[in-house]
């Protein structure tokens, strides 16, 4: 077990830069999830840590060792692949003991290690089978077992659950997290699924276009996204983004330090900005769908329902406000139907401001 | 599975049978002529089976001709060529499949170009090259030439087998503590056995039946292979069909035995990668 420290890491393939100056400190025993859309560089980052690709510039440390130039076999990290990458010509037992055999460990100790891992993963009955005779979930467990027996400094997971069906994925999510907590091994987990990231991570690294957009706890990224990308990527249903204008409050009733957030002619609320937003007052307002209250027509801003999507847990409402589309998520039982008039209301504190050009959060 | 009626399957097997008969008929004719006594060869006209059969042709081929020598030469040349070519092709194919390196495009291109010339064009230069080296009239010379000409295609064949093996497997092995060579030997090679068998079989057959170089580079019967030997049954005034065919049947045996051994791998090998999973 060890901490992992990444400094100014860059990776290019010829002209195209895949990773730009990544800085990341992972504590011993921490579970960090790299999340982002495909092509964002998250898998490349993982492969650089594993040593499967060479880095262009920067530094990676595992523990107190710089591992930049080390071969994968000397880095003492174990990886679980999306395809599981079980050796098809070996039994489960042989798969799990392969790394220990290469290290020249005695047969007795290998058997003990394999047995212990198999018990933990409840795959003792499968030890003499070949991978092709296993189900997806079982293969996943064997891949975990193969990583576990080595007691490596770190686990690297490369989208390990994306080949499983939804139900099994949920279960394996829990099991991987539980196992990692029990073992206390530093883990880096790559996924494109923000729910996996939110549910599993101690900390999330949200990546886009080779840049770590934001690093923080799941709650951090959810409540305080640093930019439009993170705000839009984390959370389902996704955050609403509305084009709005800030108008400084004037007059006797107004607080001069606050601005009204205007969407078309509708006033959503007021915000206090410490740094000046754009001179023309244009902003993109982000509002989480579950932070918008919906009620009888007289309550707030008047609108009507375009479409309803019941999810069981609640309902997603699609509406329009000043010509822009809004989604609302509510767990209350709705009596309203499609085309019914309703009104919506938002707390000013739930309005997140972003620069519409750079996408950066404006506070 | 789709359900098909009896008619469908009858037609299916009828077509297959027609094809098999078409493909195997020349071999049957080879066998038939090889056991037909000389006096019946022309006397009986076209018959599927002679009224009398004889093993005389086989006896005289084995006992009274140089065919056993040619046969031995062919076994040596074909086996050595097959082994060398497959080893080289496995190494080259692995490189083409797994590494990006400078000049790869040109090397692959050149190898492809080398397959495009009619061999007749390069017989003379090859002869001029081998002669001063003392490699004409020698089995070694033949092995070198055959290996050189078989390696490009065999490399492409091997490359396609390596391409079909996911990179993840050797990456997993390398993270498990193997260096690239150990990963190759312990993970990739066992999984490529069907491909190796297919390549081995392909090169063996090519070298076994090669006539042009064997004829042109050798003038002594000591270094002749059996295809050249078969020509010896054609004399100025007559063709000894019986003995020629008997020798032909004998020459088929090693190839048949070879393919019996590798056929399980071969079918697997030639279809590998065609379907995922």
Cross-strand pairs, A60? A6
Across the interface, which of A72, A85, A146 has its CB nearest the CB of B168?
A: A85
Q: What is the pLDDT of residue B272?
A: 47
The three-class DSSP label of residue B253 is helix
Q: Which two tokens stand for residue B39?
A: 């006096």
CA distance A229 to A259: 25
Contact B176 A81 (CB under 8 A): no
pLDDT reading at B265 higher than 80: no
pLDDT reading at B276 higher than 60: no
Taking CA–CA distances from B182, the nearest residue in chain A reads A102
For the CA atoms of A92, A93, A95, A96, what is the dihedral angle to 10 degrees? 120
CB pairs under 8 A between A and B: 57
Q: Which two tokens stand for residue A164?
A: 């499983």
Cross-strand pairs, A327? A318
CA distance A77 to A173: 21
Residues of A within 8 A of B179 (CB-CB) are 71, 73
Shortest Cα distance, chain A CAs vs residue B179, angstroms: 7
> Which has the closest alpha carbon to A334: A342, A345, A326?
A342
- The answer to whether B139 and B177 have CB atoms below 8 angstroms apart is no
> Which has the closest alpha carbon to A62: A127, A148, A153?
A153
Domain borders along chain A are 4-233, 240-362
The three-class DSSP label of residue A31 is strand
Q: State the pairing for strand pair A57-62/A65-66.
A: antiparallel
DSSP codes of every residue in A200-226: H-SEEEEEETTEEEEEE-HHHHHHS-S
Instruction: Provide Rg for chain B, Cα atoms.
Output: 23
Q: Which two tokens stand for residue B175?
A: 């993270």
> Which has the closest alpha carbon to A50: A139, A128, A156?
A156
Q: State the pairing for strand pair A31-35/A203-208.
A: parallel
Residue with tokens 């006797």: A252
CA A289 to chain centre: 19
Region for residue A246 given its phi and psi (left: phi exceeds 0; alpha: psi -120 to 50; beta: otherwise): beta
Cross-strand pairs, A188? A32, A156
**CATH 2.40.50.140 for domain A240-362:** yes
Shortest Cα distance, chain A CAs vs residue B174, angstroms: 5
The three-class DSSP label of residue B149 is helix
Taking CA–CA distances from B167, the nearest residue in chain A reads A85
Instruction: Provide Rg for chain A, Cα atoms.
Output: 25
Within 10 A of A45 (CB to CB), how many other CB atoms are there? 29
Backbone φ and ψ of B83, nearest 5° = -65, -50
Architecture of domain B60-271: Orthogonal Bundle (1.10)
Q: What is the pLDDT of residue A281?
A: 83
Banded pLDDT at B275 (limits 50, 70, 90): very low
Q: What is the pLDDT of residue B224?
A: 86
CA distance B247 to B242: 9
Banded pLDDT at B184 (limits 50, 70, 90): very high
For residue A159, count CB atoms less than 10 angstroms from its CB and return exposed for 0-12, middle for 13-18, buried for 19 or more: buried
Mean per-residue pLDDT, B236-253: 84
Q: What is the pLDDT of residue A199?
A: 94
Q: What's the pLDDT tens digit per position in B56-113?
A: 888 888 888 888 888 899 999 999 999 999 999 999 999 999 998 899 999 999 988 8
Cross-strand pairs, A32? A188, A203
Residues of B within 8 A of A73 (CB-CB) are 174-179
Residues of B within 8 A of A82 (CB-CB) are 168
> Which has the closest alpha carbon to B70: B240, B214, B184, B185?
B214
Across the interface, which of B169, B177, B191 has its CB nearest the CB of A102?
A: B177
Contact A83 B175 (CB under 8 A): no
Across the interface, which of B169, B178, B191 has its CB nearest the CB of A102?
A: B178
Instruction: Determine which helix (DSSP H) or strand (DSSP E) holds A21, and give its type and residue range.
Output: strand A16-26
Contact B177 A73 (CB under 8 A): yes
A92-102 vs A107-121: helix axis angle to the nearest 10?
130
Give the angle A331-A335-A339 at the CA atoms, nearest 5°: 105
Q: What is the CATH number of domain A4-233?
A: 3.40.50.300
Q: What's the pLDDT tens digit per position in B150-171?
A: 999 999 999 988 998 888 999 9
For residue A78, count CB atoms less than 10 angstroms from its CB and return exposed for 0-12, middle for 13-18, buried for 19 or more: buried
Longest CA–CA span in chain A (Å) reads 85
> Which has the closest alpha carbon to A341: A308, A306, A304, A294?
A304
The dihedral sign for the CA sequence B235, B237, B239, B243: negative
Q: Which residue has better confidence, B121 or A185? A: A185
The complex scores an ipTM of 0.84
> Which has the closest alpha carbon to B144: B156, B123, B154, B130?
B130
The pLDDT tens digits along chain A (363 residues) read 689 999 999 999 988 999 999 999 999 999 999 999 998 999 999 999 999 999 999 999 999 899 998 999 999 999 999 999 999 999 999 999 999 999 999 999 999 999 999 998 999 999 999 998 898 889 999 999 999 999 999 999 999 998 888 888 999 999 999 999 999 999 999 999 999 999 999 999 999 999 999 999 999 999 999 999 999 999 989 999 999 998 887 765 666 678 888 888 888 888 887 666 677 888 999 999 999 998 877 778 888 899 999 988 899 999 998 889 999 999 887 778 888 888 898 998 899 999 999 999 988
CA distance B154 to B4: 40
Q: What is the pLDDT of residue B78?
A: 93
Mean per-residue pLDDT, B223-242: 82
Backbone φ and ψ of A328, nearest 5° = -130, 140
Domain borders along chain B are 1-54, 60-271
pLDDT reading at B277 higher than 50: no
Mean of per-residue pLDDT scores for chain B: 86
Residues of A within 8 A of B173 (CB-CB) are 87, 98
């Amino acid at each position: 077990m060890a901490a992992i420290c990444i400094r100014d890491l860059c990776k290019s393939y010829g002209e195209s830069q895949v990773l730009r100056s990544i800085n990341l400190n992972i504590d011993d025993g921490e579970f960090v999830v790299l999340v982002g859309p495909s092509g964002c560089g998250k898998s490349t980052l993982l492969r650089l840590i594993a040593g499967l690709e060479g880095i262009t510039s920067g530094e990676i440390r595992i523990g107190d060792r710089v591992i930049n130039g080390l071969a994968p076999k000397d880095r003492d990290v174990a990886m679980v692949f999306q395809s599981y990458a079980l050796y098809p010509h070996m039994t489960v037992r042989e798969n799990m003991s392969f790394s220990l055999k290469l290290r020249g460990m005695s047969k007795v100790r290998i058997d003990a290690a394999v047995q212990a891992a198999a018990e933990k993963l409840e795959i003792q009955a499968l030890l003499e089978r070949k991978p092709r005779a296993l189900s997806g979930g079982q293969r996943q467990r064997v891949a975990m077992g193969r990583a576990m027996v080595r007691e490596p400094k770190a686990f690297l997971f490369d989208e390990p659950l994306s080949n499983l069906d939804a139900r099994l994925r949920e279960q394996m999510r829990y099991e991987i997290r539980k196992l990692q907590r029990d073992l206390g091994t530093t883990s880096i987990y790559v996924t494109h699924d923000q729910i996996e990231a939110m549910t599993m991570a101690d900390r999330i690294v949200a990546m886009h276009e080779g840049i770590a957009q934001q690093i923080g706890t799941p709650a951090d990224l959810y409540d305080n996204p640093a930019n439009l990308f993170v705000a839009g990527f984390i959370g389902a249903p996704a955050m609403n983004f509305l084009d709005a204008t800030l108008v400084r409050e004037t007059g006797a009733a107004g607080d001069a330090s606050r601005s009204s957030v205007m969407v078309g002619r509708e006033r959503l609320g007021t915000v206090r900005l410490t740094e000046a937003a754009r001179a023309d007052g244009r902003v993109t307002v982000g509002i989480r769908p579950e932070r918008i209250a919906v009620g009888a027509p007289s309550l707030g801003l008047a609108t009507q329902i375009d479409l309803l999507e019941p999810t069981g847990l609640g309902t997603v409402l699609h509406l329009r406000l000043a010509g822009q589309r809004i989604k609302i998520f509510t767990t209350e039982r709705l009596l309203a139907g499609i085309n019914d008039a309703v009104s919506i209301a938002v707390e000013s504190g739930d309005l997140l401001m972003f620069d519409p050009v750079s996408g950066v959060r404006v506070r | 599975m789709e359900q098909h009626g009896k008619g469908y399957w009858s037609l299916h097997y009828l077509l297959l049978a027609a094809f098999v008969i078409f493909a195997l008929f020349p071999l049957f004719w080879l066998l038939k002529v090889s056991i037909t006594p000389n006096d019946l060869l022309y006397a009986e006209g076209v018959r599927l089976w002679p009224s009398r059969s004889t093993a005389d042709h086989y006896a005289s081929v084995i006992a009274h001709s140089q065919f056993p020598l040619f046969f031995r030469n062919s076994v040596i040349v074909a086996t050595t060529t097959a082994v060398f070519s497959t080893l080289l092709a496995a190494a080259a194919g692995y490189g083409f499949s797994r590494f990006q390196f400078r000049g790869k495009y040109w090397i692959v291109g050149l190898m492809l170009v080398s397959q495009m010339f009619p061999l007749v064009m390069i017989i003379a230069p090859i002869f001029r090259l081998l002669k001063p080296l003392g490699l004409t009239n020698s089995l070694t010379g033949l092995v070198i030439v055959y290996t050189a000409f078989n390696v490009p295609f065999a490399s492409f064949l091997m490359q396609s087998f390596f391409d079909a093996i996911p990179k993840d497997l050797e990456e997993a092995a390398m993270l498990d503590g193997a260096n690239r060579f150990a990963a190759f030997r312990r993970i990739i090679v066992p999984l490529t056995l069907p491909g190796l068998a297919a390549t081995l079989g392909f090169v063996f057959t090519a070298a076994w039946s090669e006539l042009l170089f064997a004829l042109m580079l050798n003038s002594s019967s000591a270094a002749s292979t059996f295809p050249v030997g078969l020509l010896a049954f054609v004399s100025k005034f007559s063709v000894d069909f019986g003995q020629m065919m008997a020798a032909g049947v004998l020459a088929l045996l090693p190839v048949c035995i070879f393919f019996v051994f590798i056929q399980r791998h071969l079918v697997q090998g030639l279809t590998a990668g065609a379907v995922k999973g």
